[in-house]
Amino acid sequence: MRRTNKRLGLGAALAAVAATACLVPACKTPTPEEIKASLEVVDVQTKWVMKEYRQWPNPKLVIVPVVSFRVKNISAAPLTYVNFNAIFKEKGAVENVGDNFLAAIRDEAVPPGELSPTITLKSNFGVEGRDKADIETNPYWKPWIVKLFAVKASRHVPMGEWDMSRFIDFIEDKAAPPAEPKAKEPVKK
């Protein structure tokens, strides 16, 4: 059986850690100011979409808020690995009603001065009614807002707050017309 020197193994491990530590400063974490200065949120659109719908036996429509936007790279370097978090809530409320986190800009970088593809974040909770008209006329359907955060290197940077539109992007199914009775054919004998 061969014996190894434990001090030699420990020394090699410490040398590897020291070498790695020398490389870490090269991977500087961006500050919130640097993140905000590197991108701009543009083409923001808000709407409500169907999450659940049924006509029978008990009519039910659940709609949730959605925000869509594009990101413009306003830095001199390609923009990669940016996540977004949207917080949806009633205007003036303290508590959030819904949210969505998305790893949006990943492997394909957004070149300097260019725009990302459209990014869409949909809330997990929303508003319920019997149908679209029931929701649109409900006095308890209050105005909502969406707060958008860019997330890079575990830093949440506020990018803006927008009012949710009251547009519901949903068309209800129309009831099928009643079938017309078929004329009876005379029986041949």
pLDDT in tens, 151-187: 998 899 999 999 999 999 999 887 666 667 776 777 7
11 falls within a domain:
no
76 falls within a domain:
yes
Task: Give the model's pLDDT for residue 20.
Answer: 42
Number of domains in the chain: 1
Q: How far is CA 172 from CA 132, 175, 177, in A?
A: 7, 9, 15
More confident residue, 19 or 74: 74
C-beta of residue 140 within 8 angstroms of C-beta of residue 20: no
C-beta of residue 110 within 8 angstroms of C-beta of residue 116: yes
Domain containing residue 82: CATH number: 2.60.40.10
Percentages (nearest 5) of helix, strand, coil residues in the chain: 15, 40, 40
73 falls within a domain:
yes
4 falls within a domain:
no
Look at strands 39-54 and 168-169 and give their pairing. parallel
pLDDT of residue 54 exceeding 50, the answer is yes
59 falls within a domain:
yes
* DSSP structure class, residue 180: P
Q: Please, what sign has the CA dihedral across residues 176, 56, 169, 68?
A: negative
In angstroms, the CA 35 to CA 159 distance is 10
Residues of the domain holding 40: 29-167
121 falls within a domain:
yes
